[in-house]
Chains A and B, each alone.
Chain A
Amino acid sequence: GAGVSQSPSNKVTEKGKDVELRCDPISGHTALYWYRQSLGQGLEFLIYFQGNSAPDKSGLPSDRFSAERTGGSVSTLTIQRTQQEDSAVYLCASSLWGGETQYFGPGTRLLVL
């Protein structure tokens, strides 16, 4: 079956612009997660959704970062006024329920110039 999909695959933007990253989870998965992977660093948790609610937003690095999920499916991660330090790979994962095994998408590679 189809796995987690993310779009775009790559995004190059200029400092100060806003970007939107999209995640389509595995069909039927109620839990969705966003992580960030910076060069030389491990995966860093950003936010967790159960259904359309986000009970854990503790990893969002600043108020420039926000995310939403609609219809219990697709999620969008928005970064406003991008900075060069936002350059990273943004990974989305989904699981059947919170606490179950997380399956990752291919990621969106964001480069802020």
Chain B
Amino acid sequence: EDQVTQSPEALRLQEGESSSLNCSYTVSGLRGLFWYRQDPGKGPEFLFTLYSAGEEKEKERLKATLTKKESFLHITAPKPEDSATYLCAVQVRGNEKLTFGTGTRLTIIP
């Protein structure tokens, strides 16, 4: 069974304090790994797709990386507006559905 585990469950950082969120996965043939951001009361907002080990993608203060077993979402010098729940999901070959982790709730304190 495909599994996705995110850690930590919650993370509080001071504004400007860089850190990383982890997404570990066990799947039978990865097609893609997806990162989404979800604000309270809203639907997930797409951030990145990673397809193969060694791939990296960046957007503003966020950088996502992928290995054969896990992905990291690095956040550099975060701002309060980066506060949200960050969701990781995997898609396996031959299957269109996404399997999600339970998310990391990130709070940036001014």
Binding site for B on A (CB under 8 A): 4, 31, 33, 35, 40-45, 48, 50, 56, 58-59, 91, 98-99, 101-107
Contacts of B97 in A (CB 8 A): 33, 45, 48, 56, 58-59
Task: Determine the distance from Cα of A99 to Cα of B51 in the docked complex, in whole angstroms.
Answer: 12
Least CB distance, B37 to chain A, in whole angstroms: 11
Q: How many A-B residue pairs have CB under 8 A?
A: 56
Contact B87 A43 (CB under 8 A): yes
**How near does chain B come to A3, taking the closest CB pair, in angstroms?**
9
**What number of B residues sit within 8 Å (CB to CB) of A?**
23
Answer yes or no: B7 CB below 8 A from chain A CBs.
Answer: no
Residues from chain A with a CB closer than 8 A to the CB of B46 are 101-104
Q: Find out whether the CB atom of A41 lies under 8 angstroms from the CB atom of B102.
A: yes
> Interface residues, chain B, CB within 8 Å of chain A?
4, 31-32, 34, 36, 42-46, 49, 87, 89, 91, 95-103
Asked whether A43 lies within 8 Å of B44 as measured between CB atoms, the reply is yes
B43 touching A45, Cβ below 8 Å: no
A107 surroundings in chain B (CB, below 8 A): 42-43
Chain B residue at smallest Cβ distance from A104 = B43
- B12 to chain A minimum Cβ distance, whole angstroms, is 19
Q: In the complex, what distance in Å separates the CA atom of A46 from the CA atom of B45?
A: 19
Q: Complex: how many Å from CA A48 to CA B96?
A: 8
List residues of chain A with CB within 8 A of the CB of B91. 99
Contact of B98 (CB < 8 Å), options: A4, A43, A58, A105: A43
Q: How far is the CA of A50 from the CA of B95 in the complex (A)?
A: 12
Q: How far is the CA of A67 from the CA of B68 in the complex (A)?
A: 36
Question: Given A42-B101, A42-B102, A99-B31, A105–B43 Cβ distance below 8 Å?
Answer: yes
Complex Cα spacing A41 to B103, Å: 9
Partner of A91, one of B31, B44, B49: B44
Q: Which residues of B contact A31 (CB under 8 A)?
A: 96
- CB contacts (< 8 Å) of A99 on chain B: these are 31-32, 91, 96
**Nearest CB to that of B91 among chain A residues?**
A99
Task: Kindly state the separation between the CA atoms of A91 and B100 in the bound complex, as whole angstroms.
Answer: 13
A29 vs B6: C-alpha distance in the bound complex, in angstroms? Answer: 30
Pick 30 A–B contacts, CB within 8 A, sort by A. Answer: A4-B43, A31-B96, A33-B96, A33-B97, A35-B98, A42-B4, A42-B87, A42-B100, A42-B103, A43-B44, A43-B89, A45-B97, A45-B98, A48-B96, A56-B97, A58-B97, A91-B44, A98-B96, A99-B96, A102-B46, A102-B98, A103-B46, A104-B36, A104-B43, A104-B45, A104-B46, A106-B42, A106-B43, A107-B42, A107-B43
